[in-house]
A and B are shown apart, each in its own frame.
Chain A
Amino acid sequence: MIASAAATRSKVLWSIIGWLVVLVFFFPVLWMWLEGLKTEPQAASSPPTIFFVPTLEEFQQVLSGDFPPFFINSAIASIGSTLLVLVLGLPAAYALSIRPVTQARDMLFFFISTRFLPFAASLVPLYLLARDLQLLDNILALILIYTTINLPLGVWLLRSFLLEIPTDLFEAARVDGAGFFREVTRIVLPLISPGLAATSLICLIFSWNEFFYAVNLTSSVAATAPLFLVSFISGRGLFYAKLAAAATLASLPVLLAGWIAQKQLIRGLTMGAVK
């Protein structure tokens, strides 16, 4: 009995410490939400307003203002590049796992090494290429670049899922005389859906939040959600509530997707190394 009372006490103690730490980390996110629910005078008050009646006014303003086109551009760039990654990445992962090419190891190394090249090193030539191909301020340029950024991760990640399919399944199918296409439609596609989900999540996170190429290759027509936030640095004065509402909305898709697919998150971020 004494031992269990001590155990309970230590559980309570560690719970309190744990929750304090977690709330410190979560607080800026919570504060962002709260600021977005204030009016402008409340958000720019000194001392800061702690108790207030929440209002959706700023959210409505942002949504009815010039924010939606930025949001839609982000969605097009993210979804477009994610689909391309899946279409190009799944066959490549297949050729690196189920029926591997002899140089599979070198190819894996090649793919992942391109992901580690600094973005900065390719900015200037990509800018000049985009300029010459009339792709500056064009969402297609971002789709193509985000595909390049995410494809190596996608190949590694999808490969790690394909390797988990029991070899027996393929052997049984081949004994039954199943060809390549039946193998893919009957075995690979049904069993790979968690892999497709994990890959899509990682692609979404990296392309939705991407800023470096977006700010340097687009200006008005193709500008994405992070660029809407840049306009708050200069020239808009003290619009903290509007800023917080916009930041909340811009962050929402990735936050929700990441929370829903928490299980896939670690695996995706480590390219399948950690399950």
Chain B
Amino acid sequence: MNSTRRSILPVFGSGGARDSAASVARREAWVRWLPLLPAFVYVFLVTQIPFVLTIYYSLFSWNLLKPGSFRFTGLDNYATLLTNESLRTAVFNTVVLTVSVIAISVVLGLGVAMLLNSEVFGKGLMRTLMIAPFLIMPTAGALIWKDTLLNPLFGLLPYLLSPFGLSRVDWVNHFPMATVVAVEVWRWTPFMMLIILAGLQSQNPEILEAASVDGASAFQAFRRLTLPLVRPFIELGALLGSLFVVQTYDSIFMLTYGGPGEDTTNIPFLLYIVAFQGFSIGQASAIGVVAVIITIIVATFALRTLFSIFQVEARR
């Protein structure tokens, strides 16, 4: 397709008879690039300049509050990071948070999607209510959980749990990571549900009926027919979701502020603390570089999945 269109198009643009075929093709290629350039230049400048600066700053010792402290130290910042407990804790917390949030919300999302895909009353309204946690501002959601649902004195949950001997449990302080995971699962389950539901709805119900006529149990039909069909959707949801959850900052800021101690400090939060509480620009930049490396590893898988689903091969 590409070649045919290119061979037709110069007919419209050919002005002088002296234009050689090559220069016409070159001009045509240039004309095609024009609409792309503003967006490309914009994204390139705003994402790549800061990235190069991050690498550059990471080679310096620089405290923002001490004028004249800007000093080249090579890889010292990285050496400090490797021996520093904080980064290891933050990487560990990031992994725990991301893996548990994605795993739990995929399973719950699959369950809810299957409920919404079966014969139930009020499907449309159920879906509408179900996506609300994803749309609520994350800072607002976290605050509502912390102050009105989990608050040990006035919260609803400790009150509801009091018959079970769990009254007055200070969830945010005693189970900080579990609380952050719970709030994030609440927010990401609807996201997973939406994507998996779209996959389920692409299934032809007649195939399931045929399977049940053939004597397949509901579980067999789920494992053999439904699961293979929705698998790419689950993968897509899990990978897109993990790229967002790795960057969790809002709910940690609102719920625990990274604490107690460093119990819920993930990489973005550690970077924030080092840069804006400690004002160590060089250290923070080194953490940023580490974050990029980790993200590239995750994103490589994510992009491969995305591209296989999109089939980005030149379709035109």
Contact = CB atoms under 8 A, between A and B. Distances in A.
Interface in B194-218: 194-195, 198-199
Contact of B291 (A105, A112, A121): A121
B186 A119 contact: no
B233 to A, nearest CB: 7
Give the most central of B148, B271, B289: most A CB within 10 Å. B148
Q: Which applies to chain A's interface (DSSP): helix, strand, loop or mixed?
A: helix
B303 interface: yes
Contacts of B130: 22, 25-26
A259 B281 CA distance: 42
Contacts of A135: none
Give the most central of B32, B53, B119, B139: most A CB within 10 Å. B139
B115 A151 contact: no
Interface string B118-154: 1111100011111111111111110111011100011
B99 interface: no
Given A18-B120, A95-B36, A100-B316, A120 B147 contact: no
B118 A14 contact: yes
Interface residues of A, number: 110
B128 A232 contact: no
Contact of A124 (B57, B127, B131, B135): B57
A100 B3 CA distance: 11
Given A116-B299, A240-B147, A121 B292 contact: yes
A19 B122 contact: yes
A22 B275 CA distance: 41
Contacts of B116: 18
A251 B156 CA distance: 21
B39 A273 contact: no
A105 B288 contact: no
Give the most central of B33, B35, B310: most A CB within 10 Å. B35
Interface string A14-51: 11011101110110110110010000000111111000
Contacts of B302: 116
B39 A155 contact: yes
B38 A88 contact: yes
B284 interface: yes
B141 A28 contact: yes
Contacts of A151: 39, 42-43
Given A113-B303, A144-B46, A151-B42, A100 B51 contact: no
A6 to B, nearest CB: 12
A122 B32 contact: no
A269 B295 CA distance: 19
Contacts of A147: 42, 46
Interface stretch (B80-88, B173-181, B220-228, B244-252): B244-252
Contact of B148 (A35, A92, A104, A163): A35
A117 B39 contact: no
B284 A44 contact: no
Contacts of B156: 31, 48
Nearest to B240: A270
A96 interface: yes
Nearest to A274: B198
Given A48-B155, A101-B33, A14 B115 contact: yes
Interface string A91-128: 11011111111101101111111101111111111111
Interface of A: 7, 10-12, 14-15, 17-19, 21-23, 25-26, 28-29, 31-32, 35, 43-48, 88-89, 91-92, 94-102, 104-105, 107-114, 116-129, 144-145, 147-148, 151-152, 155, 160, 163, 167, 174, 179, 205, 208-209, 211-212, 215-216, 225-226, 229-230, 232-233, 238, 240, 243-244, 246-248, 250-251, 254-255, 258-259, 262, 265-266, 269-275
6 contacts: A14-B115, A107-B36, A111-B43, A147-B42, A148-B43, A255-B136
Which 6 A-B pairs rank lowest in CB-CB distance, beginning with the nearest? Answer: A91-B35, A247-B140, A92-B39, A121-B288, A125-B53, A95-B36
Interface of B: 2, 5, 8-9, 12, 29, 32-36, 38-40, 42-43, 46-47, 49-51, 53-54, 57, 111-112, 115-116, 118-122, 126-141, 143-145, 147-149, 153-156, 159, 186, 189-191, 194-195, 198-199, 233, 236, 240, 243, 246-247, 249-250, 253-254, 267-268, 271-272, 275-276, 281, 284-285, 287-289, 291-292, 295, 299, 302-303, 306-307, 309-310, 312-316
